[in-house]
C-alpha cells in the first residue's frame, strides 16, 4: 500500500525505530508518553493559586520583560474577564474636527449610508450592490478625513442598525477596532481597487467581486539573474533533528467545568454559556481541554513534557510558526494579554524544548488588535509619525524575549524590532533562517487594504528577497518561516503579495530555498511551488515545498499534535518527518483522577506513509519533486486521499471523510497551490477538516 494505513494503531505496539525504518539514522524516543496527572509546578517560580488543584487551572506569576513587573492576576482571572482594554492608547490619524464638534457629520454620514444601502433607492446601475458599497465607503472616508475620532461612533451605529453584531461597542468602538477603521478609511483608495477588496472581504454578501491580481512586473526586482546551474546540493548523509510546533493558543482564562458547547465566541470560559441552557452546563470543559476550546495550561504542559520524551530530544533547533494567544473576542484582548502570553510560553519553550535555539514567526493572534500590523509607511502617508510605530511595543517585546533566551543575537534582535518582528539568522552551519510577519499578507488585517495594487507596500517581501540573495551570494541554504500559508485553497492570504512571494520562491529554488514552513490552519498539510507560476505543474517543474504544521490547540474538532524533522545537516533538506498526537476525545475520562494525564502517540512517518509506491532513493530528500509524485499517486489512487485527510485532522474522530471525486480533486489542487491566486482556482469547500 502507498499508506501505512495502520500506522496510528501500530504505534503503541511497535518501537519508533521500527516505524521509522532503516532509513532513519536519528535516535527517537518512546512510542507513547503518558503525561503526569498532576501539573508540574516547577514550570514557573510562583503562582497566584494552588497549581496542583484539579478544579481550576494554574495561574502562574509571569513577568513583563520590558518593565520587570509581574502581570496581575486580574489579567487572566477566569471569573473576571475584562470587557475592554482601557489602558493602552488609541491611535487616530490627524483630522481637523474633534468628536465634540463632529456630531452633525456623524449623523449625516449615517443617514447617507443607510439611504445608499436601501434596496428601494434605485439608480445604481447593473452592479448596484458593489456601487452602493463603494459609495458608502466614500461617505465613511469623508468622515475619517474630517474627524477620524468620530469613526468609531459611526461604526457602532451602523453595526447596531444593520445587526452586524450583538457586541457592536465592544468590537468597533473606540476601545477596539474603531481606530483601525479610521486609519484604513483615511488612507485607502475606497473608490477603487482597495474599496472593491474591502467590500468583497468585510461586507456581508461580498457585494463586490474580488478584483483580479494586479499585473506583476518583476523587471529589476532581483539583484542578479538566477544562476544557470541552480540545483540543490547532493545529500551529505548527516542527519540532525529539528522540532516544528505551531498554533499553541494558550488560554490562561480557561475555566474547568465551564460550558464547552457555548453559543458564541470563546468556549470553556466562565463568562460564556449556551443561550439555550443558560443555567445549566451542557458540556463541561475537561481539565486537559476539548475540541471546541483553546489550550489550558494543563494540556500545554502535558505537550511540552511529551515532546522530549517521544522525540528523543537533543534538537539542533526548533521552529515555531506562530499563534501563541487564544482566540479571544476583540473586546477581551489587550496589549497586556499578548505580552503575558508571549512571556509565559517562550519561557516554557526555553525550559522544556532542549538546548538548541528556537526561531519564531509572529502569528495573526500574536498581535493587538488581532491580526493587525500596519506598514511603516503609513505614518508618512497620513502625516503622523506614531502611526508607523503603533505596533512597535510588540516587536520590542518579542525581540527582547528571543534575545534573553539566547536564541538570537543583539544585532538580530535589533533587526526584528525594525522589520515587523521578522528577522534573518545566518547560522554557522550554513543555513539562513528567514522569518516573516505574514499578517502583512493576511486578508483579515485591515491595514492590508491600503495601497493594495502594490504587491509589497510593507517592504516585507523585499526583505525576504534581499536575504535570499545574501544567502545565494554566501553559498547558504535557506529556510523561510511564516505563519499564514501563502496558498493552499487561497482562503487566508491576499492575492498580490502571495503572487510576488511565489515568484521570489521560484527565483531562489531549489538551490537556495531548502524548505518553507507555515502554520495557521491547525491542520497537517503541504503545498508545492513550481517554476513559471505553475503553468506546467509537474515533477520536473516542482521547485519548493511548504510544510504546514499541525497545532497544539485542538480548536476546532482536531487532536493536538506536533512534528519533528530529520534534516540533512549540510544541505538542510528534509529527509523524513515524524508526527505525534494526543486523542482529545479521551480527555473527559481524565477528570476524576490524578494518576495520569493525556497520552501522546506516534501518528505516522512521512516517508513511509506517502512514499511506498514511489521510486525514490532512500537517501534522497522529501523535496518538491517527491511531493509532486505523491500527488500523482493520489490521482491514480483517489482512495488514498482519505488517509491524508485522517492525518490532516491529526486522527481526530471528528474529521470528515474525503471520498467524493470532487473532494479528492480539490485537495490535490490545493496541494499544488503555493499562492492565493492559484488556490482560488481550485474548487472551494474542501480546504479544512474542521
Query: Residue 296 and residue 39: Cα distance in Å, rounded?
Result: 11
Length of the chain: 690
Query: Quick one: 575 and 653 in the same domain?
Result: yes
Which of 189, 217, 245 terminates a domain? The answer is 217
* pLDDT, tens digit (0-9, with 9 covering 90-100), for 162-216: 999 989 999 999 999 999 999 999 999 999 999 999 999 999 999 999 999 999 9
Query: Residue 268 and residue 299: Cα distance in Å, rounded?
Result: 14
- In percent, the amount of the chain with pLDDT more than 70 equals 96
Of the candidates 77, 69, 71, the residue with the CA atom closest to the CA atom of residue 49 = 77
Least confident of 99-103, 123-127, 277-281, 334-338: 123-127
**Residue 11 pLDDT:** 37
Q: Is residue 68 part of a domain?
A: no
Answer with the residue of higher pLDDT: 221 or 545: 545
**Residue 452 pLDDT:** 97
Residue 16 pLDDT exceeds 70: no
Q: Is residue 58 part of a domain?
A: no
Query: Quick one: 497 and 400 in the same domain?
Result: yes
Residue 646 pLDDT exceeds 80: yes
**How is residue 268 written as a grid cell?**
470553556
Query: Residue 393 and residue 88: Cα distance in Å, rounded?
Result: 11
Residue 25 pLDDT exceeds 90: no
Residue 227 pLDDT exceeds 50: yes
Query: Quick one: 670 and 613 in the same domain?
Result: yes
Containing domain of residue 647, as a range?
7-36+223-680
Residue 83 pLDDT exceeds 70: yes
What is the domain-level CATH number for residue 253?
3.60.21
Query: Quick one: 281 and 358 in the same domain?
Result: yes
Print burial letters for 658-679: b (CB count within 10 Å at least 16), e (below 16).
beeeebbbbbbbbbbbbbbbbb
**Residue 8 pLDDT:** 37
Residue 571 pLDDT exceeds 70: yes
**Residue 501 pLDDT:** 98
pLDDT band at 90 (very low <50, low <70, confident <90, very high): confident
DSSP bridge partners of 47: 60
Query: Quick one: 297 and 347 in the same domain?
Result: yes
Of the candidates 433, 427, 435, 429, the residue with the CA atom closest to the CA atom of residue 398 = 435
Average pLDDT over residues 411-434: 98
Which of 182, 217, 252 terminates a domain? The answer is 217
Q: Is residue 47 part of a domain?
A: no
Count of the separate structural domains present in the chain: 2
Q: Is residue 74 part of a domain?
A: no
Q: Is residue 69 part of a domain?
A: no
**How is residue 99 written as a grid cell?**
468628536
Average pLDDT over residues 234-240: 94
* pLDDT, tens digit (0-9, with 9 covering 90-100), for 432-486: 999 999 999 999 999 999 999 999 999 999 999 999 999 999 999 999 999 999 9
Query: Quick one: 410 and 313 in the same domain?
Result: yes
Query: Quick one: 578 and 654 in the same domain?
Result: yes
Query: Quick one: 479 and 540 in the same domain?
Result: yes
Q: Is residue 2 part of a domain?
A: no
* pLDDT, tens digit (0-9, with 9 covering 90-100), for 199-211: 999 999 999 999 9
Asked whether 518 and 484 are in contact (CB, 8 A), the reply is: yes
Query: Quick one: 134 and 278 in the same domain?
Result: no
**Residue 5 pLDDT:** 34
- In percent, the amount of the chain with pLDDT more than 90 equals 89
Residue 466 φ/ψ, nearest 5 degrees: -65, -40
Query: Quick one: 290 and 425 in the same domain?
Result: yes
Q: Is residue 685 part of a domain?
A: no
- Which residue bears the cell 461617505? 139
Which of 191, 217, 243 terminates a domain? The answer is 217
**How is residue 660 written as a grid cell?**
467524493
Instruction: Give, to the nearest 10 degrees, the angle between helix 128-146 and helix 151-161.
Output: 150
Query: Quick one: 240 and 201 in the same domain?
Result: no
Query: Residue 530 and residue 180: Cα distance in Å, rounded?
Result: 37
Residue 14 pLDDT exceeds 60: no
pLDDT band at 31 (very low <50, low <70, confident <90, very high): confident
* pLDDT, tens digit (0-9, with 9 covering 90-100), for 280-303: 999 999 999 999 999 999 999 999
Residue 289, SS3?
coil
CA angle 126, 127, 132 (to 5 degrees): 120
CA angle 365, 366, 371 (to 5 degrees): 50
Average pLDDT over residues 572-597: 97
* pLDDT, tens digit (0-9, with 9 covering 90-100), for 297-350: 999 999 999 999 999 988 999 999 999 999 999 999 999 999 999 999 999 999
**Residue 127 pLDDT:** 63
pLDDT band at 4 (very low <50, low <70, confident <90, very high): very low
* pLDDT, tens digit (0-9, with 9 covering 90-100), for 304-313: 999 999 999 8
**Residue 27 pLDDT:** 83
pLDDT band at 30 (very low <50, low <70, confident <90, very high): confident
Residue 575, SS3?
strand
Q: What residues contact residue 138 under an 8 Å CB cut-off, 6+ apart?
A: 190, 191, 195
Q: Is residue 689 part of a domain?
A: no
Mean of per-residue pLDDT scores for the chain = 94
Query: Quick one: 212 and 228 in the same domain?
Result: no
Average pLDDT over residues 607-618: 94
pLDDT band at 647 (very low <50, low <70, confident <90, very high): very high
Amino acid at each position: 500500500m502507498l499508506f501505512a494505513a495502520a500506522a496510528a494503531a501500530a504505534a503503541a505496539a511497535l518501537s519508533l525505530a521500527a516505524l521509522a525504518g532503516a532509513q532513519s539514522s536519528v535516535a527517537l524516543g518512546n512510542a507513547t508518553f503518558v503525561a503526569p496527572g498532576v501539573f508540574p509546578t516547577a514550570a514557573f517560580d510562583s503562582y497566584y493559586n494552588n497549581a496542583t488543584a484539579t478544579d481550576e487551572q494554574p495561574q502562574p506569576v509571569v513577568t513583563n520583560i520590558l518593565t520587570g513587573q509581574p502581570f496581575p492576576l486580574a489579567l487572566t482571572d477566569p471569573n473576571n474577564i475584562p470587557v475592554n482594554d482601557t489602558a493602552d492608547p488609541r491611535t487616530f490619524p490627524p483630522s481637523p474636527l474633534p468628536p465634540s464638534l463632529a456630531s452633525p457629520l456623524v449623523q449625516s454620514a449615517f443617514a447617507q449610508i443607510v439611504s445608499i444601502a436601501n434596496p428601494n433607492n434605485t439608480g445604481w446601475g447593473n452592479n448596484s450592490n458593489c456601487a452602493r458599497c463603494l459609495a458608502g465607503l466614500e461617505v465613511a472616508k469623508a468622515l475619517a478625513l474630517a474627524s477620524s475620532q468620530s469613526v468609531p461612533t459611526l461604526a457602532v451605529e451602523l453595526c447596531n442598525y444593520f445587526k452586524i453584531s450583538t457586541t457592536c461597542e465592544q468590537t468597533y468602538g473606540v476601545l477596539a477596532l474603531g481606530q483601525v477603521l479610521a486609519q484604513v478609511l483615511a488612507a485607502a483608495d475606497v473608490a477603487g481597487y482597495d474599496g472593491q477588496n474591502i467590500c468583497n472581504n468585510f461586507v456581508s454578501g461580498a457585494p463586490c467581486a474580488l478584483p483580479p491580481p494586479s499585473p506583476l512586473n518583476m523587471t529589476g526586482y532581483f539583484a542578479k539573474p538566477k544562476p544557470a546551474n541552480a540545483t540543490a546540493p547532493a545529500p551529505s548523509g548527516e542527519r540532525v533533528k529539528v522540532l516544528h510546533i505551531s498554533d499553541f493558543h494558550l488560554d490562561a482564562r480557561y475555566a474547568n467545568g465551564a460550558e464547552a458547547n457555548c453559543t458564541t465566541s470563546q468556549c470553556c470560559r466562565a463568562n460564556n454559556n449556551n443561550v439555550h441552557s443558560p443555567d445549566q452546563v451542557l458540556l463541561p470543559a475537561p481539565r486537559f481541554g476539548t475540541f471546541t476550546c483553546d489550550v489550558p495550561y494543563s494540556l500545554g504542559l502535558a505537550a511540552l513534557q511529551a515532546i522530549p520524551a517521544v522525540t528523543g530530544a537533543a534538537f539542533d533547533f526548533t521552529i515555531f510558526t506562530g499563534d501563541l494567544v487564544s482566540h479571544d473576542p476583540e473586546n477581551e484582548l489587550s496589549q497586556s494579554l499578548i505580552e503575558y502570553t508571549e512571556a509565559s510560553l517562550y519561557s516554557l519553550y526555553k525550559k522544556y524544548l532542549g538546548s538548541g535555539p528556537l526561531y519564531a514567526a509572529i502569528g495573526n493572534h500574536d498581535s493587538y488588535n488581532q491580526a493587525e500590523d500596519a506598514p511603516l509607511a503609513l505614518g508618512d502617508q497620513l502625516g503622523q509619525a506614531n502611526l508607523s510605530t503603533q505596533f512597535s511595543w510588540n516587536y520590542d517585546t518579542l525581540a527582547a524575549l528571543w534575545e534573553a533566551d539566547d536564541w538570537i543575537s543583539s544585532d538580530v534582535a535589533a533587526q526584528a524590532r525594525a522589520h515587523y518582528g521578522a528577522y534573518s539568522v545566518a547560522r554557522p552551519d550554513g543555513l539562513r533562517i528567514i522569518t516573516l510577519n505574514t499578517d502583512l499578507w493576511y486578508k483579515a488585517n485591515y491595514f492590508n487594504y491600503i495601497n493594495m495594487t502594490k504587491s509589497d507596500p510593507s517592504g516585507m517581501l523585499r526583505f525576504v528577497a534581499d536575504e535570499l540573495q545574501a544567502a545565494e551570494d554566501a553559498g547558504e541554504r535557506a529556510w523561510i518561516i511564516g505563519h499564514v500559508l501563502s496558498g493552499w485553497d487561497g482562503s487566508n492570504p491576499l492575492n498580490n503579495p502571495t503572487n510576488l512571494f511565489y515568484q521570489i520562491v521560484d527565483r531562489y529554488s531549489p538551490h537556495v530555498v531548502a524548505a518553507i514552513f507555515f502554520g495557521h490552519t491547525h491542520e497537517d498539510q503541504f503545498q508545492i511551488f513550481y517554476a513559471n507560476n505553475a503553468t506546467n505543474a509537474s515533477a520536473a517543474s516542482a521547485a519548493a515545498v511548504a510544510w504546514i504544521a499541525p497545532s497544539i490547540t485542538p480548536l476546532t474538532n482536531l487532536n493536538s499534535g506536533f512534528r519533528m524533522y530529520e534534516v540533512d545537516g549540510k544541505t538542510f533538506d528534509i529527509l523524513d518527518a515524524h508526527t505525534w498526537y494526543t486523542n482529545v476525545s479521551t480527555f473527559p475520562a481524565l477528570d476524576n483522577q490524578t494518576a495520569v494525564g493525556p497520552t501522546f502517540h506516534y501518528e505516522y512517518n512521512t516517508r513511509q506513509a506517502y512514499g511506498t509506491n514511489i521510486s525514490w532513493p532512500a537517501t534522497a530528500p522529501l523535496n518538491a519533486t517527491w511531493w509532486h509524485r505523491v500527488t500523482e499517486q493520489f490521482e491514480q489512487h483517489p482512495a488514498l486521499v482519505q488517509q491524508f485527510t485522517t492525518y490532516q485532522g491529526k486522527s481526530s474522530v471528528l474529521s470528515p471523510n474525503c471520498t467524493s471525486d470532487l473532494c479528492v480533486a480539490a485537495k490535490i489542487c490545493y496541494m499544488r497551490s503555493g499562492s492565493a491566486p492559484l488556490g482560488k482556482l481550485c474548487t472551494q469547500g474542501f480546504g479544512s477538516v474542521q
